[in-house]
Structures are given as C-alpha cells and as structure tokens.
A and B are shown apart, each in its own frame.
Chain A
Amino acid sequence: MIAFEYTTLQHLWWLIVAVVGSLFLFLTFVQGGQSLLWQVAKTETEKNLVINSLGRKWELAFTTLVLFGGALFASFPKFYATSFGGAYWVWMLILFSFIIQAVSYEFRKKPWNIFGSSVYEFFLFINGVLGILLIGAAVGTLYTGANFVLDANNFVTWTHPYRGLEAVFSLSLASVFNISLGLFLVFNARTLGAMYLVSNIELGHAPEMAGRLRAACRLNCLISLPFLLVIVGSLLFMRGYGIVDDQGTIESISFKFLRNLIANPWLILLLVGGVGLLLVGAWKTSIVGETRGIWFSGPGTVFIGLTVFLLPALNRTPFYPSLADPQSSLTIYNASSSPYTLTVMTYVAMVIPLVLAYISYVWWLMDRKKMTIEDTEDRSSY
C-alpha cells in the first residue's frame, strides 16, 4: 500500500465526510417534500402522486444518512463516541424521526395498517420538520461548541443536563445560531422538495398542485434566506477556537471563522456560488415556470453544505469544540482513526464514484418517464 501522510488522510476523510453530509442535505428534498404534503396536495390523487414520487427516493436519502454515520464511525471514531454518546437526546430524537419515516411510505395506504393513513402522513411530517431541524442544530454545534469533558481514556462525560438538547433549548446566542441553521435547512429542504416534485410528476395530471408547488418553492426559499443571513452574519463576527501551538493547545480566538474564510478564500466562492445556484433554481421553478430548477438548487445546496462542514474544521480549527474544557475539543488530528485504518478506508472509498455512477444511471432510467396517476394505482405502489 502507498503510505499517505497522516494529515493528508485526515483532511481527505473530513472532506469525504463533508461530501456525504452535503449530498444528504441535497437529498433532504425528500423530507422537504414530506413536510409539504398536506399543503400542496389537496386531493387523494395529488397525495398519491407526491408520496409515490418521493417514495422512489426516500431510501436513498436514508441510506446516505446511514453512510454519514458509518463514515464518521470509521474515520473519526472519537467524534462518533463523543457526540452520539454525549449529545444523547438530540440524536435519539433524530433517530426516532427516521424510524417512523422508514415504515410510513410502505404502510400508509395498506389496508389493516392499524393507525390509518393520516398517522403515517403525520410521521412523514415529523420526520420532515423535526428531523431536519435537529440535524441542523447538531451541525450548528460544530461552530458553537458542546458541553463535554474527555478523561485520560478519552471517555466522554457530558456536563449539561439536557444532553445535547441545550443546542436548541438554552437561552443563548449559540442556540439562536443552531436553530437558525436548523430552520434554514428545514425551509431549504421544502424549497428543494417543491422543485423535485415539479420536476418528477407529470404536472398535466395535477395542474392545480403544480401552481401550489411553484408558490411553495418561492415562499419557502424567501423564508429560508433570513436564516441564512443570520448564519453568515454570525460567522463573520463569532469567536471560535483554534489550535495555537504544536502541542495541540486550544484557545478561544476572536473572528475565528472570518479568519478561516480569509485563509481559504475558495470557501467564499463555494458559498457564494452555492447560494447563487440555489436562487437561480428557485427563480426558474417559481417564476419562469420551468421544471428543472432542482438541477441548479441541488448542486447549490451541496456547495453550501460543503462550506458548512469544511469551515469549522480547516485552518487548525477544532471541529467539535468543548465549551466545558477546550482541551477536550475534537480536531481532525486528535479524533481520527489510525493512519492504517484511514489508508484502508481510502482504498475502499475508491468505489464511491462507481456507486454514484450506478445510482445516477438508475435514477435516470426510472425517472425518464414522469410520475403519472397510473403509477399510483398499481397494488405495489405506495
């Protein structure tokens, strides 16, 4: 095997994790679509169109989330242990929202499903809103920090009784930031959801819903922007933590994220490009009346996601700062797997392009023909 530099591997794996996370954020159009269901689909036929259209993709989003967790476990086990074991309740609630999603598509319309279709639709709504909000808040703690201490064995003790929920429930600027990120992702998911449905459904079969979808795309995009503004504005002024010497000492640093942006100006381009693409897509879908807006906003979301995941980790920044004990903070250097494991995983990761290729091929193959009412009437449909 080729021996890569340890720090190269650590950076590479943070990048891979960031790419998987960003692709997940794009795929949250599934969750966004779920949360729009009751709003855009007024008749049973419209509902069936929406559910069957999203139902072809939900597993992909779900699997990407699972891979995100798996990749973190393999490459940054200290983060996996610290965050999942520490910020217990946030992750538990996120998991609950995904358990109920997994069964809802299949069970919703089936006879004898015990709870009735509206309960399963409610499950989808919960997953679409609460699941994404909490994921956003959890990602927000990469910037605002978390309350933990690691002992000599690197075992975690959480120092806040809410066990992770303080990310949203404490009266602090940090909570405002975390909630803003969560809400941005929720409304962005809804914008993307509307775009996906416009592009995927044979709109001639539901002309009224088409209008509602385009309106929802516009409205949700507009609502999401102030939250994005809060996030970007905060980032320019926020204090952060940084590694200040070769021993890995961590100290609080003013304007840390602004410094990171200046040190990596390509992140600014990524962010501006991402927001630009997002707006172009929304404009095309809601104003111009095209169907392919998601081709712009999807990649736009990926670019924004990459900025969100890379900014708190690059430039000698601890990506999971501890507020209780800064020296316990996790950096890509102290939280990663061994060089051997990262090397092995790098070879394994070489199949990822192949995976992306067959996913794209099958996506194209299955979606060449748009979703029609007939597709929703088959007994095997959702």
Chain B
Amino acid sequence: MVENIDPSMVHWARAQFAMTAMYHWLFVPLTLGLSWILAFYHTIYFKTGSEEWRRLTKFWMKLFAVNFVIGIATGLILEFQFGTNWSNYSWMVGDIFGAPLAIEGIVAFFLEATFFAVMFFGWNRVSKGFHLFSTWMVAAASSLSAVWILIANSWMQYPIGQVFNPETARFEMESFFTVIFSPYAINKFVHATSSSMIMGSLFVLSVSSWFLLRGRHVLLAKRSIVVAAIFGLFASAFTIFNGDESAYEIAQVQPMKLAAFEGLYEGERRAGLVAFGIINRDKQVYDEQEAFVGRTLQIPGALSLLANRSIDSFVPGMKDLVYGNAEENILGSAQKMYRGKQAVASLNALREARANGDAEAAAVHLAEFNQFKEFLGYGYLDRPEDAIPPVALTFNAFHIMVALGTLFPLIFLAYLYFSYKGTLETRKWLLGFGTITYVLGMIASQAGWIVAEVGRQPWAIQGLLPVTIARTNLTTGTVQTTFFLFLALFTLLFLAKISILTKQIIIGPEEK
C-alpha cells in the first residue's frame, strides 16, 4: 500500500487543493456574510418602500453577484478534486464523506441557484413579497450549504460515527446523526459563518468608507454602515465566544494541532498562552533548541484554561505527543505507529488467509486487526516525528487570526460610536483605515483555514488516513501541470473580478 509513493506528487496535490480552497475562500465568506446583510437591506426597503433603500439594496446586490459566480467556479473544482487528486481518499472514506457533499447539492445548491435568479432578476417579474422571500432564501441557502460542507470538513478533523470494514478496505458510516451532530461540526459552522458575517460587514464598511472619503453617495454609505456595523458586532461576539469553544474542542480531539499553533514542545501544567513570540523555524522536536527566538509574552495559565477549562491542567506538548508521556498517561505517535504497523500486518495476513480459503487463520488475523485497528493510520507513517504539522506556519497563522479577530469588534464599535455622534464623516483616520479593513478580514479568514488544515497534517483524516495514502496514483508532472493551469486561470479571473468590482464601486448605485 505504501510502495511507490512519490512525496513530491503529494506536495503538489496538497498545494493544488490549498490553492483552490484559498481562492474559493476569497469569495465565499463575502457570499455568506453579504447575503444576510442584503436580506436586511431588502427588508428595510420592503417595510419603508423608500426608493433610497431600493437603490442601496440593488447596489450591494450587484457587487454580490460579481463575487458570487467566481465562488461557484472555484467550488466546482474543490468538489471534483477529491476524485481527481485524492482518489484513494474518495474510495476509503467516500461512504461517509460523499453523503454531506451530495446532501449539500440536494438541499442547498438548488435553493441558492433558483432563488438567486429571482433575487437578481425578479424586480419586475414577481410580487414584492416573493422577491423579499427570495433574498432571504439566498441567505439561508448559502448558510445551509456551509452547514454541509463544514460537516464534511469537521469529519476530517474528528472522524466519528464510522467503522473500518476490512472486507471492503474502507471506512463505512455507522451513525449518520453522530456525523452530522458532531460537536466539532457545530463549532466549525458557527465559527466559519459568524466570521464570514464579519467579512460581509467589513466589505460594506470598506466600500462605504471610500464613498464617504470621496463625499459621494453619503446617505447610502452611512445607512449601509449602520446596518453592517451592528451586524458585524454581533457576529464578532459569536466568533470570539465560539473561538474559545473551538480551541477547547481541538485540545480534546487534536492535541497535536493545539500544541503546534501554540508552539508548545514540552507539555506543562498551568501552560501559558503566547500573546507575542517569534517562533524558531529551525527547532526540531528532538533537539534542545529554544522554541522561540528571543522573549515571548505569555498569559500565564491561559492555555491550560482554554484547553481543559482548568488552570492547573496539563497541556501536552509536541514531545509528549510524539514520544509519549507515561506520567500523564499519553500515548506517543511512536507507540501508536508500532500498533498501527501491527494492524496493517494483520490486515494483509487476513487477506492472504481469505485468498487461501483458510477460515481459521482469517478469524485469528481479524481478531488481531480489531485489537489495533484504531491505530491503522499510524501504521502508514514513516517516523514518529511525521505526526507533527508544520509548526511555524500554524503558529503564525493562528496568532494573526486571533490578533485581527480581536481588532474587528473595536472597528465596528468605533464606526457605531461616531455614527451615533454624527461625526463619522469628519473622522478621516477611521474612514481611511476602514477602506482597508476588508483586506485585513480576508487575511484573518485565510489564516483561520491555514490553522485548521495545515494544523491537521500529516492527516487527510485525523489519525486514520495520512495524505500520502489518500492521493491518486499520478505523476508529479501531471499534478504540476494542472496546478499551474488552475493557478493561471484563477488568477486571471480573480483580476477580472477585482477590476469589474472596482469599476462597479466607482460607478456607484443607480441614479435616482
């Protein structure tokens, strides 16, 4: 099973998936967040009948549409990339992973596609009530689609509700409800959608601030800001509260990821949370180098509190998780690998016995396999240290995300405060900063996914299936070719989108 692995093919396939996902995530948060803001604007228009609110709604809808289509284009590739570059993965976990993807199509995509057309083109074709209903349906459908894809993603991080079937050599679903109501999935959904709502709000803030700086569409900009800032503030509260919940979840099910994004090599009690530090990129888990370059600023005990809800609790470091820690009763990847290799050997022996028609031997090997099957994935690792994700990238992405995420509610508060005082237009410094906040939001959001996915390495499915096994049997050259084709195409389309969006913003809303 592990023969003929070309590691550079796996790297390129990962790079391709990462690139596609990151491009996708440049557009999707805006769709997710802005769709709800549109629904609010449209509702206000419906209630007041004011022409001004109609123009405002239509203007943001226009920008929404330009962004929406490119999210669809990149999303298509993501779905099929599981098959093209990760076909072993598709076979081994398709029984579980395929279901949420199909359900997403059935319950969310059609709703989105159908009502998007009504929202966008229905101004003179359907009743005002049905038109408003359609706008709300677009918002609901985009969040619904997030539900299902995040269930799928969460299952990769925390694979519950499944069992390995040695007959078919794949993982099979045991409980659908365990999969869909996984606490990890619920957290992830709340975190991803609420942070996307922040993104939608930041987008409105950025564009509106630019209008105010130029003294154009002043009323429209101010009205847009008030709704967006309130919405963004609520979303921020959810995001931060839920970020804490997510960290707790990760500590319980992916302790290695937590250790990596905190740069924690040696486990400790009363572990501190790094508020600021420069990670040492050369540090290896087995050497004695310092984890950080220079001094770090830490909040004492905060990591223990975050990870286990108890300030005195032990948070395992990467060393504990690789080499084990008998005192704290932690099994290291070294020990897990040993058991995993036994599971692999039993599985092969089981097959051979079956092929020879030796039922007795088959029963013995099956029993052996069952004893070690939870470590099967570790059987495919080469070295215990391979269980560690790239530490520096995970650490930096996590800290950038948290820092920016803390900044955003302050920005929303500032906008609301000056709007309330009626002096927003004179606060040029705030408006100037406001125009770039959307870019900051984008950075935070991308960083969040880097933490989630790079932090999961080397696993495609946490603990069960390493990326080296999950890949398709392709040459490096083939994957490189499609990587650069996608890169070129996405980049060109992205530039076209930015250009069109800029022009649409410059043109502004329709004339009265």
Contacts and interface: CB of A to CB of B under 8 A. Distances in A.
B502 A112 contact: yes
Contacts of A102: 69-70, 72-73, 76
B414 interface: no
A74 B94 contact: yes
Given A341-B99, A348-B106, A69 B87 contact: no
A140 B391 CA distance: 48
Given A80-B94, A85-B472, A105 B126 contact: no
B69 A112 contact: no
B170 interface: yes
A91 interface: yes
Contact of B69 (A78, A95, A103, A378): A103
Interface in B25-82: 58, 61-62, 65-66, 68-70, 72-74, 76-77, 79-80, 82
Contact of A77 (B58, B61, B98, B495): B98
A163 interface: yes
A70 B79 contact: yes
Contacts of A115: 492, 496
Interface stretch (B113-121, B281-289, B397-405, B444-452): B113-121
A84 B122 contact: no
A373 to B, nearest CB: 14
Which of A62, A91, A106 gathers most chain B CB within 10 Å?
A: A106
B101 interface: yes
Interface in A72-101: 73-75, 77-78, 80-86, 88, 91-92, 95-96, 98-100
A380 B101 contact: no
A172 interface: no
A366 interface: yes
A280 interface: no
A243 to B, nearest CB: 18
A153 interface: yes
A70 B126 contact: no
Given A96-B489, A153-B88, A337-B98, A84 B77 contact: no
Interface stretch (B171-179, B184-192, B219-227, B360-368): B171-179
A62 B113 contact: yes
B15 interface: no
A56 B80 contact: no
A110 B80 contact: no
B473 interface: yes
B310 interface: no
A341 to B, nearest CB: 5
Interface in A129-180: 152-158, 163
A77 B91 contact: yes
A156 B473 contact: yes
Contacts of A114: 492, 495-496, 499
Given A106-B66, A152-B351, A111 B83 contact: no
B95 A71 contact: no
Given A63-B113, A355-B106, A380 B58 contact: yes
Given A70-B102, A77-B98, A341-B173, A63 B110 contact: yes
B503 A362 contact: no
Given A56-B121, A103-B69, A366-B121, A379 B105 contact: no
Contacts of B296: none
B122 A366 contact: yes
Nearest to A343: B176
B478 interface: yes
Contacts, number: 258
A222 interface: no
A344 B99 contact: yes
Contacts of B85: 85
Nearest to B74: A99
Given A85-B473, A338-B172, A358-B114, A107 B102 contact: no
B299 interface: no
Interface string B467-509: 0000011100010001001000100110111011011100100
Given A59-B117, A66-B109, A107-B496, A77 B90 contact: yes
A216 B104 CA distance: 38
Interface in B185-243: none
Contacts of B1: 153, 155
Contacts of A75: 98, 102
Contacts of B76: 62, 66, 95, 98-99, 102
Contact of A362 (B87, B115, B496): B115
Interface string A177-193: 00000000000000000
B96 interface: yes
Nearest to A359: B114
Contacts of A86: 87, 472
B356 to A, nearest CB: 14
A63 B105 CA distance: 7
A219 interface: no
Contacts of A113: 496, 499-500
Interface in A313-372: 337-338, 340-341, 344-345, 348-349, 351-352, 355, 358-359, 362, 365-366, 368-369
A238 interface: no
Contact of B126 (A112, A366, A378): A366
A62 B94 CA distance: 22
A180 B374 CA distance: 50
A154 B171 CA distance: 13
A60 interface: yes
Contacts of A352: 106
A19 interface: no
A366 B125 contact: yes
Interface in B304-348: none
B91 to A, nearest CB: 4
Contacts of B382: none
B297 interface: no
A60 B84 CA distance: 24
Contacts of A80: 82-83, 87, 90, 94, 98
B473 A369 contact: no
B489 A73 contact: no
B103 interface: yes
Contact of B113 (A59, A69, A77, A366): A59
Nearest to B137: A358
Contact of A60 (B74, B114, B489): B114
B64 to A, nearest CB: 10
A102 to B, nearest CB: 4
B90 A351 contact: no
B503 A110 contact: yes
A250 to B, nearest CB: 18
A84 B77 CA distance: 12
Contact of A105 (B69, B114, B492): B69
Nearest to A61: B113
19 contacts: A62-B76, A70-B102, A73-B90, A75-B98, A77-B170, A85-B472, A92-B485, A98-B73, A99-B77, A103-B493, A110-B66, A110-B504, A111-B500, A341-B176, A362-B115, A362-B118, A365-B126, A365-B130, A366-B126
Interface of A: 56, 59-60, 62-63, 66-67, 69-71, 73-75, 77-78, 80-86, 88, 91-92, 95-96, 98-100, 102-103, 105-107, 110-115, 152-158, 163, 337-338, 340-341, 344-345, 348-349, 351-352, 355, 358-359, 362, 365-366, 368-369, 375, 378-381
Given A60-B110, A154-B170, 9 more contacts: A67-B106, A81-B89, A84-B84, A85-B83, A99-B76, A344-B99, A355-B106, A365-B118, A368-B125
